[in-house]
Chain A
């Protein structure tokens, strides 16, 4: 894949050839210990809440409060999961399915739209290109909460409030995705290859679909991952747009349960288990697609 060769120089730099100085210059044993201890303490901090979630999703309500946070109680994970999916006629399963729909369908469409736009910015020169691109970049900085209220009112004029579309359509627009797509397209799609395809008589759409798009597949994965995360994390927009709980994504549903906890304490175990389940898809995606989000962040950081 093109990305492998692109990141290769960075990777070899990272695995730097042995430096010329004797090891003693590279820090004493004690400073080495201090640095690694510090890093380990921070790692314990970042991993603590996740491991707490993992341990406590296995406890029932009694053990949740009755046993110390990190001690295992009676193993009740499957009981919790069964309760979770049975509660309120299985609304949790519905929320998970909604989240998948919003994130997967939204991210697929959004990634394609971003790639088309980024590719156009990278490969064609037309009047006002850089001005238009500047406008798109400004879009990255617009606080989403600022546009949510007027968007809600516009959506209610259009009769879209409280429908899947109200959450899906805004999630299709991703200025940061266009930025990444342009960076990738400039790096990985050589003009000569496009010209050659044109000489062979391919139309512009064909050139994009059969020549450029395959070259942009690493960009596709990276942008998809970012957009997917964004949709999966999106809370404010569904909160504003939806009031029918059968349309909720999983985060908004759990938020609703969390808000009534003082009145319904039996929900504790369900929320802990539900939180764990809603973290799993993203954690798996990040762990398996490490290379891709890394390259996305690099493109965002270095350029």
Chain B
């Protein structure tokens, strides 16, 4: 008897412990996603031209998705983040990996200091990072521009050509140290015997890094690439902050900015919901592709 009571109690316990999280998870994640799908199928229309009669909600099927895909602003947004991803993801993952391998190599000194110096920008909120870099791109304020002009370079860091690089730089600055610490932690878990064997085989530092260390931390590399990509397609803070200083950035420059405009300026919730879900689908496709590539790397 005692044992069945214990058994029942033990069944109730996980439900009790999981309840707060699952309730909130449902309310702030599952319900909004479901609601977004629902909203994306409808369109609100003023029933009278003057807006007195309130609005009526029309079922429009996939029309909102077609409108989003057809919108030149939205499509330009995807072109912008495609370019941004092409710059940002390789620089971030390649850069963080190179730095972690260098710090991990027998050649580096002051390993702790370097990790800390690289990580410190992560303590700066992304928004503040964008504001500070905005200052550092502003002529008259910026020591960077002063330095460039010493070498005779007269770059407009907020001009139409440079502004994508300027955004990627701000984001890289903020996140690279975080990824260096992750890679370094993974490298620390590589068994020393493996490394010693490689040295005995006559491999130099470079060779060891490339053919022994790198393959052993590939799951970290894949995971970091995944998070970097999912973060990159949601680009918002940097362009939104730099917009007040750069005429090259339109209010709907990135897809998330487009969604924000559609929802809170145009109050076109159906369009905004459809656009959000299209962005989520892109995120899922990217995650899937990166995971697949990662698995292939594992098998190779």
A residues whose Cβ falls under 8 Å from a Cβ of B: 10, 13-14, 16, 19-21, 25-27, 31-32, 35-36, 38-39, 42-43, 45-50, 52-53, 56, 64-65, 68-70, 113-114, 116-117, 119-121, 124, 126, 132, 136, 139, 141-154, 169-170, 172-173, 175, 178, 198, 203-205, 208, 229, 232-233, 235-236, 240, 251-252, 254-255, 258-259, 261-262, 268, 271-272, 275, 278-279, 282-283, 285-287, 290, 294, 297-298, 300-302
Contact B28 A19, beta carbon cutoff 8 Å:
no
| A278/B39 contact (C-beta < 8 A), A52-B136, A297-B181 known | no
Contacts of A70 in B (CB 8 A): 143
Q: Is B71 an interface residue (CB 8 A)?
A: no
Number of A-B contacts (CB under 8 A): 274
Would B9 and A146 count as touching, CB distance under 8 A? no
Interface of A is mostly: helix
Q: Mostly helix, strand, loop or mixed at chain B's interface?
A: helix
Assess whether B185 is interfacial by the CB under 8 Å rule: yes
CA distance A20 to B264 in the complex (A): 65
A13–B191 Cα distance when bound, in Å, is: 8
Q: Which residues of A contact B144 (CB under 8 A)?
A: 69
Question: Which one, B125, B134, B146, contacts A68 given CB within 8 A?
Answer: B146
A43-B117, A283-B123 known; A149+B99 contact, CB < 8 A: no
| A48 neighbours in B (Cβ, 8 Å) | 143
Question: Which residues, 192 to 227 on B, are CB-close (under 8 Å) to A?
Answer: 192, 196, 199, 204-205, 220, 223, 226
Give 6 pairs: A residue, B residue, CB < 8 Å, sorted on A.
A14-B188, A35-B107, A52-B143, A173-B24, A297-B185, A302-B220
Asked if A119 contacts B141 (CB within 8 A), the reply is: no
List the interface of chain B (C-beta within 8 A of A): 6, 9-18, 20-22, 24-25, 27-29, 31-33, 35-36, 39, 99, 102-103, 105-109, 113-114, 116-129, 131-136, 140-144, 146, 173, 176-178, 181-183, 185-186, 188-189, 192, 196, 199, 204-205, 220, 223, 226, 230, 233-234, 236-237, 240-241, 244-245, 256, 259-260, 263-264, 269, 272-273, 276-277, 279-280, 283-284, 287
Nearest chain A CB to B47's CB is how many angstroms away? 20
Nearest CB in chain B to that of A71: its residue: B143
CB closest residue in chain B, given A300: B182
Give which listed residue, B35, B128, B236, B240, contacts A254 with CB less than 8 A.
B128
**Residue in contact with A13 in the complex, picked from B135, B192, B230, CB distance below 8 Å:** B192
Residues of B within 8 A of A268 (CB): 141
Given A47, A56, A204, A278, which contacts B128 in the complex, CB threshold below 8 Å? A278
A37 to B203, CA, bound (A): 23
Closest 9 CB pairs of A and B: A69-B143, A120-B17, A204-B13, A117-B21, A150-B32, A124-B14, A147-B32, A282-B123, A150-B35
B221, chain A: closest CB distance, angstroms: 10
Contact B120 A286 (CB under 8 A): yes
With contact pairs A39-B103, A145-B276, A153-B39 given, residues A116 and B17 touching in the complex (Cβ less than 8 Å): yes
Q: Which residue of A lies closest to B235 (CB)?
A: A145
Assess A46 versus B236: contact at CB under 8 Å? Given A233-B126, A235-B127, A255-B241.
no
Q: Are A149 and B276 in contact (CB under 8 A)?
A: yes
Q: Determine the distance from Cα of A205 to Cα of B29 in the docked complex, in whole angstroms.
A: 27
B234 to A: closest C-beta gap in Å = 5
Given the complex, which residues of A lie within 8 Å of B269, measured CB to CB? 149, 153
